[in-house]
Amino acid sequence: MSTEDRRDPLQQYIGEVKSYLPRKAREDIGEELKAHFEERIDELRSDTGTEPEEQDVVTMLSQHGHPLRVASSYQGGKRTLVGPDLYPFYRSAVLAALAISTAILVVLIVVDLSFGLDLGDVSRIWMFVNSYVYIVGIVTMAFVATEYFLSKHSYLESWSPEGMSTPDNPIASAWGAIFSVFAAFTWLIILNMVEMEHNFAVLMGVAGNPFHTLVFWMQLQLLLLIPQYITLIFNQSWSYFRLGLRTVTELLLLSGCIVTLTMDDSAFRTRNPDLPERLFGVFDMVLIAMIVAVGISIAWQWRKAWPTLRELHGGSESAAEADRDSGEGDGEDRSDEYPDREFGADDNEAATTDAETDGIDKKSGEKNSLWGSVSKLFNSGKDRTQQGSDGTDSVAGETGTAGTANDAQERPDSVSGALDDDAASRLVEAREGLEEETDGGSDGVAHETESAASDPADADSVGGDEAVSVESMAAGFGEGDAESSLAEDGEDLGGGEVQGIAQASQESEEGETVSEQSGDKAAAMPAEETADGAKGELRAAEFAEQAREEAAEQSKEEAGEESGEGAREEGLSGEAEGGEVGRVENSEGGGEGAAGDTTGGATGEEAVPDSSGDTELEDPEDAPTEGDQNSIQGNQTESDPAEADTAARAGETDTTESEVSSSAGDSPAGESKGDGQDSQSLSSAAHGEENLQTNGKKGRGRSSKKRRKKKK
């Protein structure tokens, strides 16, 4: 640049801009800028008609902007060390660290001035500058590294709401965690400025310098504490591990205080006679205050964390217990999932899953709601049964909860007219057996149908076809049984199937008995079968075999003693009503029957299989498949004799249990099958299921109506 150029404001300006530019692009941009300004000068010349003066050029350049800014605008790429995402945290972290370090240093200086201490060769101002440089540098490096890490792994781009952590009772906010990290860092940096040895003698107070001993313990505590704070930034949830580690960390400082307080510092005092005695007095008071503060801190943490952890842990135990009781389909011991689980980010996902499968909302704090739901179901089952016994408000199928094993045990007076203790206990066993056999895959369905079975009123929460089918199936069973009226046993079992009873009364004086029993069964069984039809049928098959044997014995004993005329009539009528219609409808209920057989066989309550289904059986081997499909899908629209057979088998099983019986030992249905030993149970089955199926739709309709009424 010539001397003339130096005087030329344009050349000076361009030279200034170029000096801020990278060498590579310097000349090119300079040339372009020069060309641009020459164009502008030409424009000025043409506008005014005169040669522009230097002042005009200066004005033009001033409008163009400061050379630094112009040069900066040409430089692309990342232009910040800490980006806008992290900058608010960076700023607060720097401010927090500086504020804390200032406060600490001020305290140290006050102590220094008060006690005439020699802080070494570190002047007070230098202490400030030194600590600030350290702190700002470390904070900046930490944020730059964080920014680089986040950018490299696209952390802020590849996130998912599922991984979000919003614990109900957080340890701290993320902002607070960041503050804590840098506060702890600051404190550690300042402590590291103390010139001291780090050895076991100092740590245990043998070296005699109480200040160094305390500082050593504090450094150890901070080294343990800072990683905890860092993890706290990303996850603020309590866990047993975190609580334990935090307690250990606090105890570390507590130990340091106690060691320092109890150590023998006489030698140190002797070596430092200049130190005033009251300094040690104040130091001891500070140590005592620290011990108290640490104790309070530990207590506070436990007080804050323990309810959450207990709730979480207790919830998991309850859930696991409820799982065991309810026989949900995953077959996993979920209690193992919770103890080490943190109630936060990961738990949201887990909670969501649990909520989906269990129908509970962990986020709303109802972590024990599964067990609560089970209890509620039992209670509601009792209420409904009582209602039903009053004859005021019950449709056969809606007495659903009566079908649960536990409830059966709890309501001996209502059901155990036919369901004796043995039956109740078998009911429990069967239920447990069903749980064991139920595996994953249909987990969600198992849950849903389980609750539906236990409480039809909750079926809505399950939603969809399962809920409807469960209730309608239950209704079908109830009314079918009522109409079948096989039983001659006149015991009032206290069931709630008003309609079933009413219909049964028209056809049989003892219809109530079976109606109620079967109503109970019907409520519980189909639902469970819906949960896992295949398993249920397998189970049913086992019980069916067992039932055959028992039924054979009973039928031999009872067949000749009790007349069974009524049942026979019903059986005949059932068959008469059956026919094609009965067959279709029976098959329609095949899935239900299959469903029923699972629980029915299991519970030992059921006594109403369908003989027509049995007699129509063409290919029993197909039964599980069909039954499975229907029951799982909750679809009872297809006619399948095999399913009916499954139902019949279940009925056989149940007959032995409930003794519905009474009397139908010589049922034509049983004879038609040519299975004399099953005559009693088969006859029951004939009327029960056949009529049940015949009236299945009707039952559903009534059930639905009734239910709508209830809802209203």
Partner 1 sequence: MGERQEAMRLELRRGVLVLAVLTALRSEQYGYSLRKALQAVGIDIEEGTLYPLVRRLESYGLLASRWSAAEGRKRRYYQISSRGEDALTMLNLEWQRLSESIHQITETVK
Shortest spacing between CB 333 and partner 1, in angstroms = 54
Question: 67 vs 665, which CB is nearer to partner 1?
Answer: 67
Contacts of residue 566, Cβ cutoff 8 Å, sequence gap at least 6: 485, 486, 488, 507, 508, 509, 510, 663
Shortest spacing between CB 70 and partner 1, in angstroms = 6
Whether 476 and 589 have beta carbons less than 8 Å apart is answered as yes
Shortest spacing between CB 85 and partner 1, in angstroms = 19
CB atoms under 10 Å from CB of 87, counted, come to 14
Shortest spacing between CB 183 and partner 1, in angstroms = 36
Please report, to the nearest 10 degrees, the dihedral formed by the alpha carbons of residues 692, 696, 702, 708 taken in order. 120
Shortest spacing between CB 294 and partner 1, in angstroms = 50
Among residues 257, 290, 640, 696, the alpha carbon closest in space to that of 477 is found at 696
Shortest spacing between CB 76 and partner 1, in angstroms = 6
Shortest spacing between CB 234 and partner 1, in angstroms = 33
Question: 32 vs 413, which CB is nearer to partner 1?
Answer: 32
Q: Residue 676 carries which side chain, given as an amino acid letter?
A: G
Question: 34 vs 710, which CB is nearer to partner 1?
Answer: 34
| Euclidean distance between CA atoms 302 and 125, whole angstroms | 41
Shortest spacing between CB 53 and partner 1, in angstroms = 21
Helix, coil or strand: residue 703: helix
Question: 64 vs 698, which CB is nearer to partner 1?
Answer: 64
Question: How would you label 553-563 residue by residue, b for 16+ Cβ within 10 Å and e otherwise?
Answer: ebbeebbeebe
Question: 29 vs 263, which CB is nearer to partner 1?
Answer: 29
Contacts of residue 511, Cβ cutoff 8 Å, sequence gap at least 6: 482, 483, 484, 485, 487, 500, 501, 503, 504, 505
Question: 67 vs 566, which CB is nearer to partner 1?
Answer: 67
Shortest spacing between CB 73 and partner 1, in angstroms = 4
| Euclidean distance between CA atoms 74 and 125, whole angstroms | 41
Question: 21 vs 594, which CB is nearer to partner 1?
Answer: 21
Question: 73 vs 392, which CB is nearer to partner 1?
Answer: 73
Question: How would you label 604-643 residue by residue, b for 16+ Cβ within 10 Å and e otherwise?
Answer: bbbbbbbbbbbbbbeeeebbbbbbbbbbbbbebeebbbbb
Give Cα separations from 694 to 476, 540, 595, 646 (angstroms): 8, 22, 17, 17
* Token output for 675: 């299975």
Shortest spacing between CB 158 and partner 1, in angstroms = 24
* Token output for 106: 């001020």
Question: 65 vs 412, which CB is nearer to partner 1?
Answer: 65
Give burial (CB, 10 Å; 0-12/13-18/19+) of 299.
exposed
Shortest spacing between CB 375 and partner 1, in angstroms = 53
Helices and strands (H and E) in the chain: how many: 32, 0
Question: 15 vs 65, which CB is nearer to partner 1?
Answer: 65
Shortest spacing between CB 64 and partner 1, in angstroms = 6
* Token output for 696: 């299945």
Give burial (CB, 10 Å; 0-12/13-18/19+) of 157.
exposed
Whether 339 and 316 have beta carbons less than 8 Å apart is answered as yes
Question: 56 vs 545, which CB is nearer to partner 1?
Answer: 56
| Euclidean distance between CA atoms 40 and 35, whole angstroms | 9
Shortest spacing between CB 87 and partner 1, in angstroms = 19
Cα R_g (the chain), whole angstroms = 42
Question: 33 vs 686, which CB is nearer to partner 1?
Answer: 33
Whether 497 and 478 have beta carbons less than 8 Å apart is answered as yes
Looking up tokens 């076991």, which residue turns up?
200
Question: 32 vs 619, which CB is nearer to partner 1?
Answer: 32
Shortest spacing between CB 196 and partner 1, in angstroms = 55
Whether 329 and 532 have beta carbons less than 8 Å apart is answered as yes
Residues that bind partner 1 (CB under 8 A): 29, 31-33, 35-36, 38-40, 64-65, 69-70, 73-74, 76
Question: 28 vs 557, which CB is nearer to partner 1?
Answer: 28
Looking up tokens 């099958």, which residue turns up?
673
